[in-house]
Amino acid sequence: MPDENLSHGRFLAPSGRRGKWWTALLWLLIAVAAVPLAGKLEDLSVNAAVAEMPQGAAATRVAELAGRFPDGGVSPGIVVYSRDSGLTSADKAKVQADQAKFGAKAVEPVEAPILSEDGKAAILVVALKDDQATLADDALGIRTSAVDGAPPGLTVKLTGPAGASLDASDARETTDKLVTLVTVLVVIVLLLMVYRSPVLWILPLLNVGLSFLLARAVQYLLGAHAGLTVNPENSAVVTVLIFGVGTDYALLLLSRYREELHRYSDRHQAMRVALKGALPAIVASAATVSLGLLCLLAADMGFNHTLGTAGAIAVLAALVSTISLFPALLVILGRWVFWPLIPRSVENYRPKTTRWSAIGHGVARRPRVVWVVSLLVLAGLAAGLSGLKIGLTSEQAISGHPESVAGQQLLATHFPAGQTKPVQVVADQDAEAAVRAAIQGVPGIAKIADPLKSTDGTLVRIDAVLTAPSDSAEAKTAVEGIRAAVAGVPGANASVGGATAEVMERDAAQQHDRDVVIPLVLGVVFILLLVLLRSFVGSVVLMATVVASYAAAFGAAWLLFRHVFDFPAVDVQLPLVGFLFVVALGADYNIFLLSRVREEVAEHGYREGLLRALGATGGVITSAGVVLAATFAALALAPQVAFKEIGILVAVAVLLDAMLVRLVLVPALALDLGRFFWWPGRPAGRQKPPAQPLDQEHPEAKVPVVS
């Protein structure tokens, strides 16, 4: 008998008798190389606060120039001591003792405590080294030391940049560990439920795990040698993305492989046919999601910009792993991995009738009624957007009541509201006097600190403490006044930064990104659908359903945010990031369904082919949707409200899309429009007779293969 691999020209294919072993060996080498590289990824992390800021903005320039000033390597921690009835002598003694104690940990001498005018509070400013590797631990030491030995009734809180950094570090660490653990557990449970096999779940998880390592290794190499910015803040989102799409792609291939195992006695042949059928849909899906993510390269906001490249790398890593490693492992291990429900080959196999086949026939009876009712359901959910509020304050950004926020509230009660978050104006040294004079005339400023010169003597920084809280409208008005004032100073080259300016520029950048990236994503996805479907009408219809699905999901999510989770508003980045994931991931299910429609219509005609495609893909699309929704829902466990909202929105959208839009609304529209849905193309080429499995010894002969 001729070698089956050579006769088919697939000597190195992952489904080949020899190719499967070469593929497995290649991935073993990739894993060995990727582990140390992936472990170095965090070493490339830049300052997260700067990486997230708008590119090219004045406030970003001020943050980037911080290192040129004597305190540029310093992150101040502000310890607040407060007693409602007024500080006692014991309280003041505690503050004095802490001043001496903190001096040993600070990089600069700790100055005398500042007492509030009402006598109820005092603060110590502790300068800590602004090093991401040590700052959180140093801040934790200060917090612990300040609380230890405090007189009963004295409230002690750590706030300021160091306190906020500690809270952010705690939140990030909790997010990364908890979300990853929960995501893995969710995937395991769902795979066990779908396939009811005590063994099979290991392979998709192993596949995703290795693609996760590959993605991190590629990120490291690009960051170390190609200047890619690595932002640690988006790692949790990237993790759930790669686990979600990686498992989805594995489910699609696994479903098709199991189906072909019923037709072919040779598992290598079954995998080749499964790859041929599933590969176009998987590649098209990965292309849609990754290109959609790369649209974020047009964004100004640092978080959005870095998420685009990190997410695209993750999706492509999942694609490469799923079409190479995963089929090789399945073929190597054989049919027994499906135990106890082992698929056996049978003559003239026909898939069993599924609940989705029954639903499809129900839709086919009155498709127009079905799609009208479906659109009314989506419109009703979209009405939930009424009263939507966009924009969280810094105090609302982390759930619960972080200590730095509590400390900031104490400061605002007893000291000028802008005490810990001054406006920072950086200008050329020669313009110092003129800039200072311009700032002094701006309303809303409580005091102006002495100018601070850069270490090279070319720049000067002037800090202005505002009377209003940094997140308030009054503070923003004051910043606008400062900007206008310094803009009129000739040759100053002044930039206005600080917390308030950063918030204002973030809001402006997010608006820019929404205005630019959302149309770009729609255009990219629409073009991809045109290329894949070769149908203008169908592409327009599908894009309309995607937008309707997004609006409905956002409306439903906002109702949950407001009435269940008690969120006061949605984070400013949610409309864009949520839209991107909903549109790109929603297009996945369009591709999964309509790729199979083309295949079935070629053999069974339009109506019957569409219903067969729905019956064949309904289960896998539902399973994939549940897995993807569950992985994103894991973000709801993160302390950051923005991540909670992203996870909940995408989970709602994916479930709505997978169970209603793709499997009810789209088939109803396709049936009602008929072949016009595919205009100006056709749903498939010339109709052909049903294909029979190939004989293993004589591949040119089409005869049934029995077990």
Mean pLDDT of 111-134: 86
Residue 73: name the closest of 161, 7, 140, 178 by CA. Answer: 161
For the cut 80, the answer to whether the pLDDT of residue 466 exceeds it is yes
Query: Is residue 529 a contact partner of residue 538, using CB atoms and an 8 Å limit?
Result: yes
- Percent of the chain whose pLDDT exceeds 70: 92
Structure token pair of residue 513: 């990104």
Domains located in the chain, CATH noted:
1-39+197-350 (1.20.1640.10), 58-168 (3.30.70.260), 360-401+531-707 (1.20.1640.10), 403-504 (3.30.70.240)
Q: How confident is the model at residue 244 (pLDDT cuts 50, 70, 90)?
A: confident
Summarised one tens digit per residue, pLDDT across range 408-421 is 888 878 887 666 67
Query: Is residue 95 a contact partner of residue 115, using CB atoms and an 8 Å limit?
Result: no
What is the pLDDT at residue 280?
86
Summarised one tens digit per residue, pLDDT across range 264-276 is 889 999 999 999 8
Query: Is residue 469 a contact partner of residue 394, using CB atoms and an 8 Å limit?
Result: no
Mean pLDDT of 21-37: 92
Mean pLDDT of 349-364: 75
For the cut 90, the answer to whether the pLDDT of residue 341 exceeds it is no
Chain-centroid distance, C-alpha 617? 27
What is the pLDDT at residue 47?
61
For the cut 50, the answer to whether the pLDDT of residue 707 exceeds it is no
What is the pLDDT at residue 352?
65
Distance between CA atoms of 85 and 118, rounded to whole angstroms? 10
- What value, to the nearest 5°, has the Cα angle with vertex 304 and ends 299 and 305? 60
What is the pLDDT at residue 237?
86
What is the pLDDT at residue 418?
62
Summarised one tens digit per residue, pLDDT across range 285-340 is 899 899 999 999 998 888 888 888 999 999 999 999 999 999 999 999 988 888 88
What is the pLDDT at residue 629?
87
Residue 211: name the closest of 332, 331, 322 by CA. Answer: 322
What is the pLDDT at residue 372?
94
pTM of structure: 0.80
Distance between CA atoms of 474 and 451, rounded to whole angstroms? 24
What is the pLDDT at residue 353?
61
Residue 82: name the closest of 117, 112, 120, 115 by CA. Answer: 120
What is the pLDDT at residue 4?
42
Query: Is residue 52 a contact partner of residue 60, using CB atoms and an 8 Å limit?
Result: no
What is the pLDDT at residue 699?
41
What is the pLDDT at residue 2?
37
For the cut 90, the answer to whether the pLDDT of residue 90 exceeds it is yes
What is the pLDDT at residue 79?
92
Beta strands 459-466; 445-448: pairing state: antiparallel
What Cα–Cα distance (Å) separates residue 560 from each residue in 272, 384, 574, 637, 649? 45, 10, 15, 15, 9
Summarised one tens digit per residue, pLDDT across range 131-168 is 777 888 888 888 999 999 899 999 999 988 888 888 87
For the cut 90, the answer to whether the pLDDT of residue 377 exceeds it is yes
Summarised one tens digit per residue, pLDDT across range 597-638 is 887 887 888 888 888 888 877 777 888 888 888 888 888 888
